[in-house]
Structure 1
Amino acid sequence: MEQKGNITKSTYTSYKRYMDVHMIPFFKKMKIKVKEITGDEINEYYAYLRAKGLKGTSCQRHHSLLHLAFKSAMKRRIIPTNPVDQADRPKSVQFIGNYYNAEEIKQLIDCTKDDPLHIVIIIAAYYGLRRSEVIGLKWSAVDFVGKTISIKHKVLQDEDGVAGYDVMKTKSSYRTLPLIPVVEQALIAEREHQAEMKKAFGRGYCKKYEDYICVDAVGELIRPNYVSDHFPIVLRKNGLRKIRFHDLRHSCASLLLANGVQMKLIQEWLGHSDIGTTSNVYSHVDSESKKLSAEAIAKALSE
């Protein structure tokens, strides 16, 4: 599987992990040739993945990669048909995120004022950004005059370290949003704090990431993995309900829905390429908000 030039480095790394950890060990034990593989063997592989504890969505990623690999084999005339077409595509179970309500978000922000993740949490909670988008935010993306903030750069981390990219996940990921006053004040405070740290550490302050917003006390970029690892520690320390950092994105969307924001507008706010993605993830939340409409019409007609 050498299509490295057609996909991002992070995607290639994920694909390689799928192959090294699951695909190669499983199919190697079968001791059969590529042209002998049928839909039955593919289905056995999916059963193996489920036995390993992989969820439906993860199994679907393996399905897509296998289909791509066998499609390449067909193109090279190694096999006449794609055996993945004969297999049963794994079904995904609708994801229901773990959300914070407004009071929990406020409490989280309030108790992390002295934590390195404070500005990271504020941005994620108010804008529902992906982890890579939050860490990738630069000062140059914030227009304090025009009152906007642009999401157009991301930071990813792999075994080789961290790297910034101007190529976003999808075209819809590029978006310019209004600068929320609360976030603006937090950014101004953060900029002043960073200026103080530069003076305090002098030559010891890292200048490599000075255009990035999310840096630590000595100017080093906050690593994406650090965000995921440190976030649960913050929650335990402050006695807060356990959620993932990514659930701040879901919390943002659920709060928007609960306050009457239309699904299409939430799609644009989150940077989803397809409204179907937004609807599938948040349909259960939307149904909760519809109860308010039901109660309102019932009350209106009963008077």
Structure 2
Amino acid sequence: MAKRAENGMGTIVERKDGRFHAAVYVLAPDGTKVRKYVYGKTRDEVKDKRVELLENNRKGIPSLGSSMKLGDYLDYWVEDVIRKERSESTYAGYETVIRRFIKPHLGTRKLNALTPKDVRGFIAKLRKQKTVRGEKLSDRYVQNVFEVLRSALTNACKEELIGRNVAKLVTTPSRGDHDIEPMDEDDARAFIRAASKHWLYALWLILITTGLRKGEVLGLAWSDIDLATGRVQVRRKVQRVRGRLLFGKVKTRRSRRSIYLGEICLAALAKHRTETAKRLTESLNPAPDQPADLIFVTSTGRVVEPRNVNTMLNRILRAAKLDKMRVHDLRHTAATLLLLDGATIREVMEQLGHASISTTGNIYGHILDEAKRRMADRMNHRVTEN
């Protein structure tokens, strides 16, 4: 027998199977009100679920249903979960992937009707899709899009909207061969000679000798470095996200790491500190949230623009008569030279701040083979010399 509830609370009804249910009008992601049913073994269990839904209405939070469209769920997930729990740069990347790639292909599918076949077909379409520049999406980007979808569906499972994550039933797209173009030892020396004339010489040295990411080096402050021991604490990064310069913590626990600088880097930093003090003007203009003791700043005390580093690199490469490359290739160069010098893959993983040793192995496996060959040659020389 139904028991009359308080006004606006909905009626709790006992079913023939002994369970209870109630219908409540809840806020949908598109702002409309829809009827949603809640179920429970007892009247109190249903009452608690009903109160939770009505509290969501009061707060303006949509209450989701498994039959909602995937596009509506993704909007909720990226705005109410990712934006609140992850960094702004992560949110911006996920929002772009959802808006440009996932929703156009799968947005109208119902969340609880999505199948592994739908996901496989989606991947196939991505492999044929082109960027705004008319280029095919890279294998790596296709995998990134897939991982965003899989992560969203994992959250839907946690919120008990769906019983399974169909993306986990589909083989993860391959990243393909990694496009690595590191310098060899001679080119690295030529680059350093050319960079020695640049006002950011210390920055270039750190990039090519440590393998730090561009944003990590630009985010370094003097308080992060012990100039006596060379120990560096990597704890923040700077990047431009949707037109804004943002300072934030490095992404993962592995990225929050300590490394050591060689004497050449420490000497360059000492000179850089003196030259920076001479160059600073009275009209300082630091970026929002910029550390007061940031190392690499312009004459106005503002962090060096990340995009300008790319332009400056091209000029140095031309001066050194080297082929054009990305700033990230300096990171690959550091890792390659470390491996060829005898560093283990785990040591390189920790230096680069990779999340797992498999990531490092997948990227630098072929270089590790060359390092092993060199090691065999050195051992052969030792046992055969007189």
> Structure 1 length as normaliser, TM-score?
0.87
Match of 2:189 among 106, 124, 131: 106
Q: How does 1:1-303 map onto structure 2 within 5 Å?
A: 1=77, 2-3=80-81, 4-28=83-107, 31-52=108-129, 53-165=136-248, 167-198=249-280, 201=281, 203-206=282-285, 210-236=292-318, 238-296=320-378, 300=383
Which structure shows the higher strand fraction? 2
Kept after mapping to 2: 8 A contact 1:38/1:86: no
* Aligned-partner residue type, residue 154 of structure 2: K
Give the aligned residue type for 1:242: K
Instruction: Give 1:212 shift.
Output: 1.0
Summarize the Cα distance change of 1:84–1:293 in structure 2 as closer, same or farther, 3 Å threshold.
same
Paired amino acid for 1:89: T
Instruction: Supply the distance in 2 between the matched residues of 1:17 and 1:228 (Cα, whole angstroms).
Output: 23
Report the CA distance between 1:82 and its aligned residue: 2.4
AA partner of residue 116 (structure 2): G
Larger Rg: 1 or 2? 2
Number of equivalent positions: 297
How far apart are 1:206 and its partner, in Å?
3.7
Q: How big is the shift at 1:91?
A: 1.6
Question: Separation in 2 of the partners of 1:76 and 1:144?
Answer: 49
Cα offsets for 1:4-61 (capped at 9, x unmatched):
2222211111100101111112224xx5433332111211211122112223332222
Find the residue that maps to 1:59 and give its secondary structure.
Answer: helix
Q: d(CA) in 2 for partners of 1:177 and 1:32?
A: 48
AA aligned opposite 1:280? N
* C-alpha distance in structure 1 between counterparts of 2:206 and 2:316, whole Å: 16
Q: Where in structure 2 are there 5+ consecutive unaligned residues?
A: 1-76, 130-135
Q: More relative contact order in 1 or in 2 (CA 8 Å, sep 6+)?
A: 1
Deviation at 1:69, TM superposition (A): 2.0
Distance 1:298 1:115 in 2: 42
Cα displacement string for residues 232-269 of structure 1 (whole angstroms, at most 9, x for unaligned residues): 34424543112211111111111111111222222222
Provide the C-alpha distance between the structure 2 equivalents of 1:287 and 1:91, rounded to a whole number of angstroms.
22
Once the two structures are superposed, residues 46-82 of structure 1 have per-residue CA deviations (whole angstroms, 9 ceiling, x without a partner) of: 1122112223332222222212222333444544432
Contact in 2 for aligned 1:172/1:271 (Cα 8 Å):
yes
- How far the C-alpha of 1:217 sits from its partner, in A, is 3.1
RMSD: 2.5
Residues 195 and 36 of structure 1: CA distance in aligned 2, closer, same or farther (over 3 Å): same
